[in-house]
Amino acid sequence: MVIDPGLLFVQALNGLQFGVMLFLMAAGLTLIFGIMNLVNLAHGSLYMVGAYLASVVLERTGSFALAVVLALLGTALVGIVVEVTVIRTLYARDHLDQVLATFGLILFFNEIVRMTWGKAALYMPLPAVLEGDVPLLPGIRYPVYRLIIIVVGLVVAVLLYLFIARTRVGMLIRAGASNRTMVGALGVDITRLYTLVFGLGAALAGLAGLMAGPTVSIESGMGEPILILTLVVIVIGGIGSIRGAFVAAILVGFADTVGRAFLPPLLRIMLPPATANQAGPALASMMIYLLMAVVLAFRPQGLFPARTG
């Protein structure tokens, strides 16, 4: 099998694009898990809320920019309301209660969007300038919108890094991730910090959702498939670590893309066609879980464990 270098390049971009999307989801989830010791299964619902809000605002106003801004603010607000009304009562409970309650939130959000916007999937068009594809290298074209997703994702990653590493609030968040009790004992208003982190995580999930909006079917339940991948990412990266979430998200993005793009054709060379058609897709969809198993075998705490105490 000859692999065309152009194709390899495009697939690398695809892996990166998928990786930054996963990072946006994983950053919020890993902070919430790391700092508040809370398993939040409803993180995917915030992704869905972001996509719905963007689509609805775009349909009403016709402005993509306004849709982006309102969806971001709206999702952060929804996140904060959920934190204050539901999540806050769960911090002291054990993980099983948290799983149960946040699973309940998934059902609640799926039902509420269905009641509000109907069962049929919503449509979210792209502004004309973002449509189509551009030549990157001679003979290699790539969709404009996907490039924008990559750029936005990387910019957000850098901003988030600066925020966490260089600001006072960021310092508290880092401190919270390594030793919550001590941060509280030092007189930091932990309640406000928690609400802030949850709102931030919600806004990041909303950003991922609104960016995915034009490429996917906006429908009830769209957050669950991505939630599962996000959980894989934060486990590989090490819970509570933004750096870990970034590295793991890119790794998972690449592993998944390589698995889907090159594994089935590779197997078709080595195996009879019928067997290859059976094994190829199965193996490709297992790639990221294999990656997780390998990482956990060697580093049970994940690649960059944040909590030491």
Partner 1 sequence: MIRVVVAVVAVVLLVSPAAAADRVKVGFIATFSGPAGSIGQHMWDGFALGLEHAGGKLGGLSTEVIKEDDQLKPDVGLQVTQKLLEKDRVDFVVGTIFSNVMMAIYKPIVDSKTFLIGSNAGPSPIAGAQCSPYFFSTSWQNDGPHEAMGKYVQDKGFKKLYIMAPNYQAGKDALTGFKRYFKGEVVGEVYTTLNQPDYSPELAQIRAAKPDALYVFYPGGMGVNFVKQYAQAGLLKELPFFSAFTVDTVTLGAMGEAAVGTYGTAFWNTELKNPANERFVADFEKKYKYTPSNYSAQAYDSALLLDAGIKAVQGKLDDKDGLRAAFRRADFKSVRGPFKYNTNNFPIQNFYLHQAVKDASGKLRLENRGVVFKDHVDAYAKDCPMKW
Is 180 or 260 the residue whose CB approaches partner 1 more closely? 260
Question: Of 100, 123, 165, 293, which lies in the binding site for partner 1, with binding defined by CB under 8 A?
Answer: 123
Is 8 or 171 the residue whose CB approaches partner 1 more closely? 8
Beta strands in the chain (DSSP E): 133-137, 140-143
Smallest gap from Cβ 207 to partner 1, in A, equals 16
145 is a contact residue toward partner 1 (CB under 8 A): yes
Residue 142 — φ and ψ, nearest 5°? -145, 140
Cα dihedral angle (268, 271, 274, 277), rounded to 10 degrees?
-40
Pair 32, 245: CB distance under 8 Å: no
Is 254 or 304 the residue whose CB approaches partner 1 more closely? 254
30 is a contact residue toward partner 1 (CB under 8 A): no
Piece of the chain touching partner 1 by CB under 8 A; list 13-21, 29-37, 72-80, 154-162? 13-21
Q: Which residues pair with residue 142 across a beta bridge?
A: 134
Q: Which of these, 164, 201, 199, lies nearest to 24 by C-alpha position?
A: 201
Smallest gap from Cβ 159 to partner 1, in A, equals 24
Piece of the chain touching partner 1 by CB under 8 A; list 7-15, 25-33, 154-162, 200-208? 7-15
Binding residue count for partner 1, defined by CB under 8 A: 49
Give the angle 124-126-127 at the CA atoms, nearest 5°. Answer: 130
* Residues 221-260 within binding reach of partner 1 (CB under 8 A): 221-222, 225-226, 256-257, 260
Query: How big is the chain by its Cα radius of gyration, in Å?
Result: 20
Residue 220 — φ and ψ, nearest 5°? -60, 130
| 54 residue type, one letter | A
104 is a contact residue toward partner 1 (CB under 8 A): no
14 is a contact residue toward partner 1 (CB under 8 A): yes
Question: Of 24, 57, 212, 291, which lies in the binding site for partner 1, with binding defined by CB under 8 A?
Answer: 212
Please spell the DSSP secondary structure of 23-77, one letter per residue: HHHHHHHHHHHHHH----TTHHHHHHHHHHHHHHHHHHH--HHHHHHHHHHHHHH
Which residues are at the interface with partner 1 (CB under 8 A)? 4, 6-7, 10-11, 14-15, 17-18, 114, 118-123, 125-126, 131-133, 141, 143, 145-146, 212, 214-222, 225-226, 256-257, 260-261, 264-265, 277, 280-282, 284-285
